[in-house]
Structure 1
Amino acid sequence: MGFTAAAGFVFLLLSLSVVQGQNDWGVTFTSTRICAVEGSTVDIHCSYRYPSRINGNVTVVEEVLWFIKVKENLPVDVRTDSEFAGRVQYDGDKNDCTLRITDLKPSDSAVYSFRFITNQPGGRYTSEPGVTLSVTVFQVQVNKPYPKAYPTWAVLTCHSSCQPFNNPSYIWYKNGLKIQEDTSFIEQYFDEADSISCAVKGHEKFSSPSVCVLHETCNRVIYTERSVCVSKGSSVNISCTYNSYYKVTSKFWFRPERGPQWKNPSQSEDLRTDSQYTGRVQVFETERGRSTLRITDLRETDSAQYQFTFRTSYFEWGSSLHGTTLTVTALQVQVIRVTLLQSYTEAELKCHSSCGSAGRLHYVWFKNGQKNKTQQTSTYTDHFYPGDNVYCAFRGHEDYPSPSVYPSIRPSVLVSPSEIVEGISVTLTCSSDTNPAAKYTWYKRNQSLPLSSGDIYHFTSISSEDRGIYYCKSEDHYSVDVFVDVQYPPNLPSVSVSPSEIVEGSSVNLTCSSDANPAANYTWYKENEESPKASGQIFTITDIRAEHSGIYYCEVQNIRGRHNSTLHLTLSTVSPFLRNLTTKMNRIRLSLVVLMLISLLPLTLWLRKKTTPLHSTTEPTGCKDNIELDACPAHEDVSP
């Protein structure tokens, strides 16, 4: 139920969401191409959808799986594939379908498809084709452009088969020490003993193997495994191979963070002298140039990074490169799914650890103390009767198993009231026969609910968003899933008309949609008409006429209420061709009128100037002192 593994690095080549499916069924991928580095962790994200109801029956998802293989026309769940033993986990909240793969290997490169099965007849869906995962390894490529003139000059490139990072900054290491950052290549003089490695900044854990620049023999250290995961109380071997251009005078294993703070990492404390490891550490060589660190009686505090160093009279191996990461885990059995039958319980169990990379470990299951010789994966499905107990262990470490669980003893969930309507108060009660009283945890579709440590989970005012599958956990026992179906009246419906411009004789669709539970019934009416025009979400009018114009409204109704919305349907009597032609002609006429007015403006001004009267400035005789206007005769200048 959720991930406890360390987060990995996911690198998307295609960031656009890709939707597969039709109608109400389908799968949406965040990306269809992913590139990741060997040894890292990748999350493949997707979401899926399906009808909430079919013929009145609530749809419940019964099974989900990811696969890359098909056997006898059936997909093989990657959780049961031995190649992925302990390395895959499913995560899902509501309709999320995320696959996590840890400790990636080049052989994991494949196309991953998702499939889900519901309780409806024929209610199953498989994505096609799926998500393409490419697993790459960083490598140093050596080029000697001037072998004769400059025999020790070389150009080195940090290369990968695909691009797992966007705009990366690179880090270079010479003889285990960091020397340069930022660029994907370096060029300089090298000594015969030099080895080189590269990594991407921020992801130094996934550096390339060290390579000799000039000769086959040089100073270098290569760790056999990037990460190791083992169970608490067991033993572990951590190995590396090393070469020295000179005679080695001393060598040892250490934890970088446990050395004296005033010393550099290569002066860290030899684990054989570390008080935390007294009597629990051995270092041996089974062959020349191969060193193995063995730690026994492992504790969770032993989880750390381990590195190897050697010294000569002229040289000391640097320790900037990442070593091997050890994770020590305590196993637990989780009850994933239970089905209560008449006389027994069918349960799916999972052997869970906190490791982010348990890929090379196989599992062993024990039922009532007897080893199951056929079950080697992290999941186990069987029939259980009262009194049956089950535990698991890593193969080869059977002396350090998980605590036992009793799959047939499980709590039950009571929902009150039985009929749930949005806005009311609802109580979920988890009960079991455990004594003393158990601690409870509540889940909604694989996602733990906050503030839910008691046997009662309460909704003061339940909403439609609370609809879903719930179950509770008592210690290591999970209850049967309970579907909480929240009913609510239809929301205000959304109405639309297509096409937007309606021409006489064409076909028109009026569409109405509304969210409701139970599903709503749709009825179409026209204003001032009592009888309905149609039923269903889409009302189609073929060969539309002028009498079809008017106001329509859609009514949605279920047992919890009703709602309606209106729309105006207007019929255009002019065809689109004639309407466009008329618009163009009107524009042409307007342009001609404007041009004529502009051309006539100078002539109009000239004529106006010519016809303006010129008044005499000479006063008439005898009228100078006359203040009565009518006593003076009118004089006009009639000259041209």
Structure 2
Amino acid sequence: MVMSVRMAPDLPLIVFLLIHSASSADWGVSYNHSQICALKNSSVMMNCMYTYPTGYQIRNVSWTKNPVKGVEPPDLSEDPEYSQRLQYLGDKQQNCTIRLSHVTQKDENEFCFRFIADKHNSFNFMNIKNWFGASKSTTDVTWIGTPGVTLTVTDLQVESPERVTEGDSVCLTCKSTCALTDGATFIWYRNSQPLTERRDRNNQLLLQSVRREDAGRYSCALHGHTYISPAVHLNVTYPPKEALVVVVSPSGEIVEGNSMTLSCSSDSNPPAEISWFKGGTTVGSGRIYSILNISSDHSGEYKCKSSNEHGNKYSDAVTLNVMYPPRSFSVSISPSGEIVEGDSVTLNCSSDSNPPAEISWFKGRTFVASGRIYRISKIRSDHSGEYKCKSSNELGKKYSAVNLNVEYPPKNVSVSLNGSGKIVEGDSVTLICSSDSNPPAEISWFKGGTFVGSGRIYSISKIKSDHSGVYKCKSINEHGEKHSNAVTLNVMYPPRSISMSISSSGEIVEGDSVTLSCSSDSNPPAEISWFKGSKFVGSGRIYSISKISSDHSGQYKCKSINEHGNKYSDAVTLNVIYPPKSVLVSISPCGEIKEGDSVTLNCSSDSNPPAEISWFKGGTFLGSGRIYIISKISSDHSGEYKCKSRYKHGEKYSDAVTLNIMYAPKNISVSISPSGEIKEGDSVTLSCSSDSNPPAEISWFKGGMIVRSARIYSISKISSDHSGEYKCKSRNKHGEKYSDAVTLNVTYPPKRVSVSISPSGEIKEGNSVTLSCSSDSNPPAEISWFKGGMIVGSGRIYSISKISSGHSGEYKCKSSNKHGDKYADAVTLHVMYAPKNISVSISPSGEIKEGDSVTLSCSSDSNPPAEISWFKGGMIVRSARIYSISKISSDHSGEYKCKSRNKHGEKYSDAVTLNVTYPPKRVSVSISPSGEIKEEIQ
């Protein structure tokens, strides 16, 4: 304290002053706070009390700043810089409190209170002059309270990391350059909006497991103050999420030749790089993927991959289905070689189009069928011709033609005679043979049974009576032969030397052409009558029997008649030998034949002499005799049966009869195409083969559920859901039967990879923790574990016993098989633990002098972050990580330690000592008995 005394020369006053100086405690100024840290633009209260001896009265009070010895201190109420902002709240008795508003850094000064007191005396003291002023008739005492109140003005700054990753724990600190004197309640703002109000004097905002929504501009303020700190931007980075592919153009049907644009959207920070895939092949990069002049080759599944430094994400696949008109068009015939009448022929129309084309079949311009397959069973010659199929869809149509050439044996064989009327000896006669066949037939001519020529035309020039007889032609090609009906040439001449001759002098075999000739020399030509026995059988010189039969056996004679008389020839006998004919097979029973029945086949035949009977199934000899019996017939007996009637002159087969044995399904089997490994996305065909009569209906089952009714079950773009056991059921009216089950094992790369943590709640240091990786794949995947980018283990389970804080971090698993690999989304292990590694640092680290600014920092490792408390001796002095003391005084000397505490425990640091050095202080003034004034510094 500095005291200024003005004295009169009165002796009593001198005595009084000596007493006062000795009792200096009567004079004084005290401040609640010697150091005040105030927020910029706030109002500051400087609480102050003053005392003075009884008998004095206060003449003047004022506040000044930064007093200098020997210099009159200014009154701040008269200073324009302070006059509007400083408000005196005290009185002239003992309260000297002031309020200073709108403080700035310019206000950082030492503020002191000054008062002047006086006391009137009649005592003069002329020979003493005070070092504070000259003596007067009255005594003024001026007192300045030093040291005063040191004001430090601070602003607020937010301390924050520039960039954090989603899931991190982030601590934002609202810092000031000094420790605020008033109890500080901090308010936090994000993007200028109040975030939370904190009343625990804690200047930190903790964002645990930060989210992308936490990004923004953060600032802080004090409750009750208008000042807000400059904003600091918190940038939260995170891996891509929710990648989405959108078909931008066109939005509807995609037609070959159009342009196509795909867009990939993704949420990530920093912005992701985009890659495009068709199936598993990279096809481009960038958010937009465009295809100009699209073709069917572009059809398929497309997806985009969004990648940044934190990870990547695939979108769901979108399918491009490119539409195009029919093309690559062809028609095939099965069988591919020679087609013979009676064959079964299949025409197959193949066409590449999208959507699949509708197929129509035409013969010439006539529509005959629909569908890719056109079947003709038992083809006929009239099926020959040009066939074409039309493949059409909504985008266009196309035709393809093929020619069917059906070959067949001769038919419709006939002979025509050129000219009409009687044939007279010496005439020219032409026989013409017509025949329908493919390929064209070779023609042979026969008179009776004798070959007489070849070619379609057979000409006889200057005919004689010797040419009379029965003529026929034979048409033959590689598929068979056929005889025409016989025609007879009868050459007329006058009767003479009647005699009868038989054209066949030997044995007469049925089927032969037999001519009985009655020769008669006559002119005009005689009328000839023929008799069998006494029965008239014909007339004319020639009695021809073509294809003689057993009915023709007997005695024949001819009678030649002209106008002059008649004459019989001698009789001749015809004994007709004939090969088997009317060969027929009958079946008993005649109705439906079921497997297990007994069946009898009977062969009837007319022949001379009687024939031997043989039985055949197809071309295989079965046995002899008119009766063929099958007991307990089976499906193996189905087929065509015929009998052969034979003797030395010939043989004949019956028409074939078919045994159609009805039986329940058997020999059921399933085949898979392709037969090797089946991968997801392949096309697979299941075929069911079954032996039954009538043909069976086929049903397909997966497990116990029916999935299709058809012989073929096709699955395009097979997926893992199609894996399982399949079997087919074959059923007709006689019974049903299942095939053995076959297994479809569809292989595919890993998908749906995820990580689960056990236990699922809070994890404390020392616990045992198990990470489980689930993955869907075929074959089963191998599992690898990663912490960050480093592999830490393998197998579906990754266990950590007695977990420590060092195990905290992001974990993910990778599922791999030969078809691909996939990462799970990362999970974060937050290991909770009590405070440890507590230490205190002092800044500056050297000698600390009174008036210095000193910062104590407490470092602590814990999770969750610990609350920090400061103790001087055993008394708490602050709750914050940083304890700042501006303008330190000797009162601050002592031992300090910090306590770090969270819900898992607490721990004290070792104590550190603050030793504050300072110069001497407390100057006192005394007057010796001799009148000498002394200044004493303590």
More helix by share: 1
More strand by share: 2
Higher-Rg member (1/2): 2
Q: Which has the higher contact order (CA 8 A, sep 6+)?
A: 1
